[in-house]
Amino acid sequence: MDIHVKKSRKVKGVRQKLKLFRANEPLKSVIMWGISYSFEQLNHVNKRTMLLPDDFKSYLKVKVDNHLFNKDNMPSRFQFKEYCPLVFADLRAKFGVADSADLLSSWTKRQPHWDSSLGRADARFLCTQNRRYVLRLITCEEVEQVHQVLQAYHGYIVECSAATLLPQYLAMYRATVEDTDYYLLMMRCVFNPRYKIHRKYDLKGSTIDREASEKERSKELPTYKDVDFVTARECIEVGPAEKARLMSTLRADVDFLQRENLMDYSLLVGVHDRSRLGEDEAVDGAPCDLDEAGETDADGADSEAEEAAAAAAGATVSAGDDDDEEEAALVAPSEENFAVTSASGQCVYFISIISILTKYGVRKRTAQTYKSMKHGSSSENQLSTVRPEVYARRFLEFIEASMQ
């Protein structure tokens, strides 16, 4: 079987196994079922040494019409679509997620957990219980943005041998439940669950309107911004050799983003402070404060009633907002490549570029004009909305000055 040709299938009359893919809301069950189905189909695909142009346009879609499902957990009618399955399978291999059994188990052994605390109030994330992977609810416009950049993104990952600070995109899906479409982008969590994050920054290199709000500061783990970083006299203390390596990777990544006319990205920096080891630390593989009670069981649905209602209403994320904390605790890489120990040994930094899907188009040009008028043309170099080349230069200069 070859998936570079568009593939659609209907499934009927399959009785649901008693304990399989049971979750406390239908959307989760469909996602768990769909991911399992897509991985099973990939097992029958002819492996190729080189991707074809059509692979970047392909999809795998299944439509289920099955009255035998337990409707309390799995709707009797739903659709699941995987975009560019061979491309993302190749990306997973490049990112060292070739063990599909581990990835599949992470999503299907225990039901994923909604975690709104990871970003803005309107941002929606489904996180695996082991905190290794995340699905971010995105808009149909963002799906199109991923398609526009996917071939260049894949080529860049191959070229740099996955030595990058860019988000690690692992899959993209659409789940249709109760006539509502949910678009989902799978990424790797940047933070290691073994390490408690004590401070967290979202840095763009702009000092105008780039500080955490009072509401954000009231959170248990606030996402601080550029002004907060400077005011706190924070520094990413990694030593000369590590700084040179990180800046070399950053320059290559930012050069790629600039070539693709992308902007509005930021650097996520999570700080694990070993001087605070007396605090409770998360353990790898544990649910990390997530409730395990709902594992493969429909009980406990009341505990997530509000979150399920929000998901059923089709909550989505808007790309490119200047106040974006939406990926503030998430995204790409694994600790082996992206955790950096400070020169003093006191801190462990988790570092990744996030929010890379915003094109510099009409909307951003309009925002730039408005902000220039509001703050004065002399402030252009400090605005968060500027031309990609200005944005890239300012971003790199700020990060380089923030490292020692």
CATH number of the domain that 112 lies in?
Answer: 3.30.800.10
**Is the pLDDT score of 362 beyond 60?**
no
Average pLDDT for 330-356: 78
- Does residue 122 or residue 316 have the better pLDDT? 122
Mean pLDDT check: name the lowest of 241-245, 356-360, 363-367, 395-399: 363-367
Give Cβ neighbours of residue 217 (< 8 Å, ≥ 6 apart): none
pLDDT band at 385, cuts 50/70/90? low
Contact status, residue 35 vs residue 128, Cβ threshold 8 Å: no
Burial annotation 255-267 (CB, 10 A radius, 16+ → b, else e): ebbbebebbbbbb
Residue 367 has a pLDDT of 47
Q: Is the dihedral of CA 26, 187, 323, 150 positive or negative?
A: negative
Residues 269-288 have a mean pLDDT of 64
214 and 69: one domain?
no
At 346, list the tokens.
Answer: 């006191």
Q: Across residues 184-199, what is the average pLDDT?
A: 90
For the stretch 314-325, pLDDT in tens is 322 333 344 444
The yes-or-no verdict on residue 332 having pLDDT over 50 is: no
Q: What is the mean pLDDT of the chain?
A: 77
Long-range contacts of the stretch 122-127 (C-beta < 8 A, 24+): 122/315, 122/316, 122/317, 122/318, 123/317, 123/325, 123/326, 123/327, 124/310, 124/311, 124/315, 124/316, 124/317, 125/330, 126/28, 126/31, 126/184, 127/189, 127/290
Residue 333: inside a domain, yes or no? yes
Domain annotation covers residue 350: yes
pLDDT value of position 387: 84
Mean pLDDT over residues 260-289, rounded? 72
* Domain region containing 237: 199-286+319-402
* Pair 138, 183: CB distance under 8 Å: yes
- Asked whether residue 188 falls in the same domain as residue 203, the answer is no
Least confident span in 26-40, 47-61, 219-233, 270-284: 270-284
Query: Which domain-ending residue is among 192, 219, 236?
Result: 192
Give which of 187, 173, 146 is closest to 33, Cα–Cα. Answer: 173
Q: Are residues 47 and 23 in the same domain?
A: yes
Question: What's the pLDDT score for residue 207?
Answer: 78
Greatest mean pLDDT among 89-93, 122-126, 324-328 lies in: 89-93
Find the angle CA(238)-CA(329)-CA(208) to the nearest 5 degrees: 75
pLDDT for res 151? 97
Q: In what order do the strands lie in the sheet with 199-203?
A: 199-203, 266-273, 347-354, 339-341
Pick the last residue of a domain from 154, 171, 192.
192
Confirm whether 309 is domain-assigned.
no
87, pLDDT greater than 70: yes
State the pLDDT at residue 68: 65
Over its C-alpha atoms, the chain yields an Rg (Å, rounded) of 21
Element containing residue 64 per DSSP (H, E): strand 59-65
Q: Where residue 293 falls among pLDDT bands split at 50, 70, 90?
A: very low
Please tell me which residue, 83 or 318, carries the higher pLDDT value: 83
Q: Reduced to 3 states, what is the DSSP secondary structure of residue 26?
A: helix
133 lies in the same domain as 242: no
The fraction of the chain above a pLDDT of 90, given in percent, is 47
Residue entry with tokens 């679509």: 81
> Is there a single domain that holds both residue 235 and residue 268?
yes
Examine the pLDDT at 301 and tell me if it is beyond 60. Answer: no
Question: Cα–chain-centroid distance for residue 88?
Answer: 14
3-state helix, strand, coil in the chain (%, to 5): 35, 20, 45
Do the domain assignments include residue 2?
Answer: no
Whether 266 and 381 map to the same domain: the answer is: yes
Q: In degrees, to the nearest 5, what angle opens at C-alpha 101 toward C-alphas 95 and 106?
A: 85
| Residues 110, 292 contacting (CB under 8 angstroms) | yes
> Which pLDDT band holds residue 206 (cuts at 50, 70, 90)?
confident
How many domains in the chain?
2
Which segment of 102-111, 247-256, 353-362 scores lowest on mean pLDDT? 353-362
Flag whether 186 is in a domain.
yes
Mean pLDDT for the stretch of residues 232-238: 93
Residue 370 has pLDDT above 50, yes or no: no
Whether 25 and 100 share a structural domain: yes
Q: What is the pLDDT of residues 1-16, one digit of tens each?
A: 445 445 556 555 555 5
Pair 84, 171 in one domain? yes
Question: Within 10 Å of residue 367's Cβ, how many Cβ atoms?
Answer: 18
Q: Are 283 and 192 in contact (CB under 8 A)?
A: no
Retrieve residue 335's tokens: 């600790």
Q: 3-state class of 239 per DSSP? A: coil
Place 45 in a pLDDT band, splitting at 50, 70 and 90: confident
Rounded Cα gap, residues 116 and 184, in angstroms: 15
- Mean pLDDT is highest, among 5-9, 270-274, 283-287, for 270-274
- Do 80 and 225 reside in the same domain of the chain? no
Greater confidence (81 vs 8) lies with 81
The yes-or-no verdict on residue 182 having pLDDT over 60 is: yes
Res 240 pLDDT > 50:
yes
For residue 324, what are its two tokens? Answer: 């974006």
The residue from 135, 168, 192 where one domain ends is 192
Confirm whether 304 is domain-assigned.
Answer: no
Instruction: Mark whether 101 and 249 lie in a shared domain.
Output: no
Q: Are residues 90 and 203 in the same domain?
A: no
- Tell me, yes or no, whether 1 lies in a domain: no
Which has more confidence, 115 or 271? 271
- Which range is least confidently modeled, 122-131, 154-163, 230-239, 327-336? 327-336
Same domain, 251 and 176: no
From the number of C-beta atoms within 10 Å of its C-beta (0-12, 13-18, 19+), residue 386 rates as buried
Amino acid 246 reads L
CATH number of the domain where residue 227 is located: 3.30.810.10
> Which of 289 and 204 is assigned the larger pLDDT?
204
SS3 262: strand
Q: Is 211 within the bounds of a domain?
A: yes
Mean pLDDT across the stretch 105-115? 88
Of 39-53, 71-85, 304-318, the poorest mean pLDDT is in 304-318
